[in-house]
Structure 1
Amino acid sequence: MIYTVTLNPAIDYLINLDNLEIGSINRVEDEKVYAGGKGINVSNMLKQLGYENTALGFISGFTGEFIVNTLVEKGINNKFIKLKNGFTRINVKVKGKEETEINGKGPVITNDELNELYKILDNLNSDDILVLAGSIPSTLDDKLYENIMDRIKNKGVKVVVDATKNLLLNVLKYKPFLIKPNNHELEEIFNVKLNSNEEIIKYSKKLKEMGALNVLVSMGKDGALLLTENDEVYVSNVAKGIVKNSVGAGDSMVAGFIAGYLDTNSYLEGLKLGAASGGATAFSYDIATKEFIDEIKEQIIVCKM
C-alpha cells in the first residue's frame, strides 16, 4: 500500500479577479475550492493513475470535515486523525495581475494525537511506500520527518520525501528512496545560484552523498532532472500548454514518478510519467485526469545524459 502523510492540510480557496486593489472591495470573477496539502495532492494523483493509497494526517473542525468528505467522494482511502482543537487551515490564492497567497496557520497537534499517527506507521512493512510531503505545523518539531523515518528504519519501507530545508536534510541519513527538491530549493539548501544542468547534477550528487537514493529535481519551464541510485542522469523536457494553476504540479510529478516506476520498474519511465503528470496538472484547475496525462505524455521526451 502507498501511504501519504499531510501534517498540515488545507482548503485551497482559489480566487480570480482582474486586479487586486488593496484597501478596496474586490469583486471575484471566478472561485474554486479544493482539498489541499501536498500529501493529499499526491494521493489524488495516485488515484487518477490507478493506484490505491491511504491518506494520513490530521484534520480539525468544519474545514477538516470538508477535506475528508472530498477524499471519500473521490474514493481515496484515509485515516486522518481528528484533533480536538481549532480547525484545518484555509489557504487563499488570489490571481489578479500578480498571484498572491495567504496561508492559514492550522491547529495545535498534541503529543497524544501525534502518537496516534505513530501507531499507524508502526504497522507499515517492506511492501509499503510512504510519502512525506510538505510543511509541518509550527507547533511541531522540524525533526518530525526524521523521527518518523527513525521509527520505521528497520521495516524496509520505501520513503519518498518532498520537503524543504531541515525537514529534508534531517532525513537523508535514513536513505530515503526518493527526494524531490525543485531547482530553487536546491539553491537554497546549498546557498548557490544554479545556471546549468551540470550544476544541478553536481548538487544533486551532494544530496545523494548525504544519503538520498534517488534525487528528482523539478525545474519549472526547463523540465526535470533525475539522478538515480545507479548514478544515471535523465532529463525530461516540459510539455506545452497554458498554465491554469501551478498548485499541485510538483506533487503530481511525485505521484507520477511513483506510478511510472511501479508500472515498469524503470526510472526513465518514472520520470516520463512524472513529468507528464506534473505538466497536465499545471494545465488544469485541479489535479489532472488520467486521460489528459496520457495526452500530455506524448510530448514528453526523456534523454540520458
Structure 2
Amino acid sequence: MIYTITLNPAIDYVVKMDSFEQGGINRSEYDYKEAGGKGINVSRVLHQFGQSSTALGFVGGFTGKFITDSLTELKIPYDFVQLQQDTRINIKIKTETDETEVNGLSPAIGEAEYQALLAKLKQLKEGDIVVLAGSLPHSLSKTVYRQMVSLLNEQGAIAVLDTSGTPLKEAIQASPVFIKPNHHELADLFDEEVRDDYDIVQLAKRLHQDYGINHVLVSMAKAGAIYVGDSGVFKLLAPKGKAVHSVGAGDSAVAGFICKWYETTDARKAAAYAIAAGSATAFSKTLCTKAETDVLLQQVEVIDLSRR
C-alpha cells in the first residue's frame, strides 16, 4: 500500500490575471481552489495514474473540510488527524510573465496530535511505501522527518522523502530509500558549489554511498534530472515545451517515480516516468494526467553517466 504524509497542507487559491500591480486594485481573469500540499499532490497524481494511495497528515476547520471534501470527490482515501485550528490557505498569483506566492501560516500542532499521527504510522506494514513531502509546520521540530524515517525503517516500510533545508539535512541521517532534491538543495546539503553534471553526480554519490540512500533523483527544472543509485548513474533529458504551471511539478515527478517503480522495480524506467510526469504538469494548467505523461515519456532521453 502507498501512503502520503502532508504535515503542512493547504488550500491552494490560484488567481490568474493579466498583470499584478502592487498597492493597486487587481482583477482576476479566473481563479480556482484545490486541495494542496506536496503529499496530497502526490496522492492526486497517483490517482490520475490509476494507483491508489491513502493521504495522512493534519487538517482542521472549514479549510480542512474543503480538503477532505475534495479528496472524497476524487475518491482518494484519507486518514487525517483533526486539528482545532484552520488549515492554511496559500495564494498563488499568475500573470503572463510571473508567479507570486503568499503562503499562509500553518496551524499549531500539539504533542497529542503528533503522537496520534505516529500511532497511525506504527500500524503500517513491511513493504508499504510512505511519501513524506513538503515543509514542516512551525510548531514541529526540524527533526520530525528524521524520526518518522527511522520509525518506518524499523517497520520495514519504504520511506520516500521530498523536502528541503534543515528537515532534509536531518532526515538523510536516517537513510530514506528515495529523495528528490533539486540541484540547489543538493548544493546546500553539503555547503558546496554545483557547477556542472559532474559536481551533481559526485554529491549524489555521497548521499547514495555514505548515507545509504538507495535512489537519489536530482531535479534540474527544464534541464531534466540526474539519477544516482542502485541502478547506476544516468542523466534524463526533459521533453521540450512551454512551462505554464510550475506548482506541483516536483510532486508529479515523485508520483511518477513511485508509480512506475511500484509496477516494475526498475529505477531507470521510474526515473524516466518521473521526468515525464513533472514535465506534463509544468506544461499544463494543473496536475498532469496519465495520457499527458505517457505522450511525453517518449521524448525523455536517458544518457548513461556510470563512468563519471
1:50 to 2:46 alignment: no
Comparing 131-140 with 192-201, which one deviates more in the overlay?
192-201
Q: CA deviation at 1:30?
A: 2.0
Q: Which residue of 2 aligns with 1:241?
A: 241
Matches within 5 A, 1:281-300: 281-300=281-300
Note the alpha carbon deviations across 1:197-254, whole angstroms, 9 max, x for none: 1110011112221232211111001101110135x11211111222221011001101
| Letter of the 1:88 counterpart | T
CA distance, structure 2, for counterparts of residue 8 and residue 56 of structure 1? 11
Q: How does 1:218-233 map to 2 (within 5 A)?
A: 218-230=219-231, 232-233=232-233
Contact 1:260 1:272 in 2 (8 A): no
CA contact (8 A) 2:205 2:229 kept: no
Deviation at 1:124? Answer: 1.0
Give the length in aligned residue pairs: 303
User: Is 1:40 aligned with 2:40?
Assistant: yes
Cα-Cα RMSD: 1.2
- Could you tell me how far apart the structure 1 residues matched to 2:151 and 2:195 are? 38
Map of 2:160 onto structure 1: 160
Q: List aligned pairs for 1:19-98, cutoff 5 A.
A: 19-84=19-84, 86-96=85-95, 97-98=97-98
- How far does the alpha carbon of each residue in 1:80-108 deviate from its partner, in whole angstroms, 9 at most, with x for none? 11102x21111111123422110001211
SS at match of 2:272: helix
Shift of 1:174: 2.3
8 Å Cα contact 1:271-1:302 kept in structure 2 = no
Alpha-carbon distance in structure 1 between the residues aligned to 2:127 and 2:147: 21
Distance in 1, matches of 2:112 and 2:290, equals 39
For normalisation by structure 2, the TM-score amounts to 0.95
Q: Aligned partners of 1:67, 1:244: CA distance in 2, in Å?
A: 24
Q: Percent identity?
A: 42
TM-superposition CA deviations, 1:113-153 (whole Å, max 9, x none): 11111111001121200110010100110111111122233
Deviates more, 1:293-302 or 1:183-192: 183-192
Once residues 74 and 299 of structure 2 are traced to their aligned partners in structure 1, the CA distance between those partners, rounded to angstroms, is 28
Contact in 1 for aligned 2:41/2:252 (Cα 8 Å): yes
Structure 2's unaligned 5+ residue stretches are none
Question: What TM-score do the two structures reach when normalised by structure 1?
Answer: 0.96
Contact 1:161 1:176 in 2 (8 A): yes
Deviation per residue, 1:26-65 (Å, 9 max, x gap):
1111212111100001111111112111000000111111
Note if contact 2:153-2:159 (Cα within 8 Å) is conserved in structure 1.
Answer: no
Code of the residue aligned with 1:198 in structure 2: it is Y
Ranges in structure 1 where 5+ consecutive residues have no aligned partner: none
Give every structure 1 segment of 4 or more consecutive aligned residues whose post-TM-superposition deviation is greater than 6 Å: none
Partner of 1:119: 119
Q: Is the 8 A contact 1:57 1:117 kept in 2?
A: yes
